[in-house]
Chains A and B, each alone.
Chain A
Amino acid sequence: MLWTDYAWPTIVIVLQIMAIIVPLLVAVAYLTYAERKVMGAMQMRQGPMTVGPFGLLQPLADGLKLLTKETIIPSGSSRLVFVLAPMMTFFLSLVAWAVIPFDDGMVLADINVGVLYLFAISSLGVYGIIMAGWASNSKYAFLGALRSAAQMVSYEVSIGLVMITVLLVVGSLNLTDVVTAERPLLIQILLLPMLVIFFVSTLAETNRHPFDLPEGESEITGGFMVEYSSMTYALFFLGEYANMILMSAMTTILFLGGWLPPFGLDIPPLNWIPGPIWFAAKIALCLFVFIWVRATLPRFRYDQLMRLGWKVFLPISLLWVVLISGLLVAFDWLPA
């Protein structure tokens, strides 16, 4: 009774969690490699090439190097919060994967409020940064943390409104339903601008270029991470890249049709490929755009960043909520 009711389900869940986290961490390691290779190609360089064949062992070498360094905790810092902050960033970037569906029914927790759960977890990401900035007791770290807090709160507004537009069409907060729901062609075309807004907002939400003002090497020397070394730094780094993958997965689920073949082409050569592979391929496409944007665009100025969030994205996404809901009512496309 104790075995069948408690022990066995616990073991199964732990194994399922491992089956998600281990590939995710490998993906994070090779995302750093891919980023350096792709940026190298875009800037006509080689990228990493000496460790292993084609430099494929470079992420392992980097990880090992970070592990063997000394963890420095500044004397004026708030010790507990200082150590807690990177752990929290890393932890939050992993827990969100619990609700991501990799295929029809292939999901750890098929909860009814999956979209809200993802939104909640991604809105918590700011705490790791703001705690790090405050606990470091350093001017640059604090400035970075304040920038980050304002930035992430601003862009969450537009992310939330974009999600509302999609949810209006889908009529469910469950992520599996979001992927499988029917979307009329006109609505799909109208959702394209929302895809752009969502993607740009996720760039800001993950503090990636061109919105990486919290780090801002040129003016605040690395921002909130400036006092971190060794494993504590590595956790921030892993958290940031895991968040990039998570945001790409969200984009894929909300707009690119998750594990389904692209453009709704459910025809033989395409639907032989299993769902998780389509899902991974779509995530990889989004991640490529992340890296592409980083290699192409210069950093925004802070007031321009705020203007884009509040004066451009917010009104457009609000208008789109009204437009889409109006169309849904007018053509009687509302999901039952």
Chain B
Amino acid sequence: MIVQALAFYLFAGIAIAASVMVIASRNPVHSVLFLIMAFFNSAALFVLLGAEFLAMVLIVVYVGAVAVLFLFVVMMLDVNFAKLREGFQNYLPIGGLIGLILLVELIFVVGAWIVVPEADLVARNPVPADPEITNTEALGRILYTDYVYLFQVSGLILLVAMIGAIVLTLRQRSGVRRQNVEHQLARRREDSVAIARVDTGKGV
């Protein structure tokens, strides 16, 4: 058990340190790299909890896809971060307010565990009771039965966001010559090549 405890404190400590570095580091690319480190350590915490499916999905979705695009954008955009920091004083009140709300919510969550003991049972039971069922299967059994409509709705929301992004960035430019693969493949030798007998010194 002591190894598990040590591993937990190691991963949790690195996760917190990396999260602090995300907001503290001056270089935005380093920020994203620290964010990836924080994701990784959260995934390791999931593995310690016995939720290996969630851990892998966290890495595939957040590290493998979202953070890559993040990094892509941060590297490409020439953002002047010194200028962005100038308004720090003006944004302090609203930022502080949001922080305060999040803190209060966290206190409520922890408070609920103390006030309602049943909530504690639900929150701390990520591993299926039956050891025969893998946690992929356990998640599927809940997600596709009790919460199937909510699941579908969240899928639809993502679809709408995707279509929205495409519609916003799609533009039809005139005068662009596009490759028409079907047209190219449909070409035949007879249409494009002709063998002509040319007399020497006369040209076609």
User: Residues on A close to B: CB < 8 A?
Assistant: 6, 78, 81, 111-113, 116-117, 119-120, 123-124, 126-127, 130-131, 134, 142, 145-146, 149-150, 152-153, 156, 173, 303-304, 307
Contact = CB atoms under 8 A, between A and B. Distances in A.
A6 B3 contact: yes
Contact of B64 (A120, A303, A307): A120
A303 B177 CA distance: 13
Contacts of B3: 6
A112 B65 contact: no
A78 B32 CA distance: 15
Interface in B26-85: 27, 29-30, 33, 36, 52-53, 56-57, 59-60, 63-65, 68-69, 71-72, 75-76
Contacts of B135: 112
A130 B65 CA distance: 13
A164 to B, nearest CB: 12
A117 B47 CA distance: 12
B75 A173 contact: no
B64 A156 contact: yes
Interface of B: 3, 27, 29-30, 33, 36, 52-53, 56-57, 59-60, 63-65, 68-69, 71-72, 75-76, 134-136, 179, 181
A34 B63 CA distance: 34
Nearest to B54: A113
A173 B136 contact: yes
Contacts of B76: 146
Task: Tell me what chain B mostly uses at the interface: helix, strand, loop, or mixed.
Answer: helix
B75 A116 contact: no
Contacts of A303: 179
A200 to B, nearest CB: 16
Contact of B57 (A116, A131, A145): A116
A126 B33 contact: no
Contact of A113 (B30, B53, B72): B53
Contact of B52 (A113, A145, A146, A149): A113
A43 B166 CA distance: 46
Given A81-B29, A126-B64, A156-B65, 14 more contacts: A78-B27, A81-B33, A112-B134, A113-B56, A120-B64, A123-B60, A126-B68, A127-B68, A145-B75, A149-B72, A153-B68, A173-B134, A303-B179, A307-B181
A112 B3 CA distance: 22
Contact of A112 (B57, B136, B181): B136
A6 B2 CA distance: 11
A142 B75 CA distance: 9
B136 A124 contact: no
A92 to B, nearest CB: 11
For the complex of A and B, 6 pairs with smallest distance between CB atoms: A123-B64, A116-B56, A120-B59, A112-B134, A120-B60, A113-B52
A116 B53 contact: yes
A309 B179 CA distance: 16
Given A6-B3, A116-B60, A124-B63, A130 B68 contact: yes
Contacts of B71: 130, 134, 149
A145 B71 CA distance: 11
A205 B130 CA distance: 38
A123 B67 CA distance: 11
Nearest to A311: B181
Nearest to A307: B181
Contacts of A142: 75
Given A130-B71, A134-B29, A303-B179, A113 B64 contact: no
B75 A134 contact: yes
11 contacts: A81-B33, A112-B135, A119-B56, A120-B60, A120-B64, A126-B64, A127-B36, A127-B68, A130-B68, A142-B75, A173-B53
B53 A146 contact: no
Contacts of B60: 116, 119-120, 123
A146 B56 contact: no
A156 B181 CA distance: 24
A124 B29 CA distance: 17
Contact of B65 (A117, A123, A131, A150): A123
Contacts of B65: 123, 153, 156
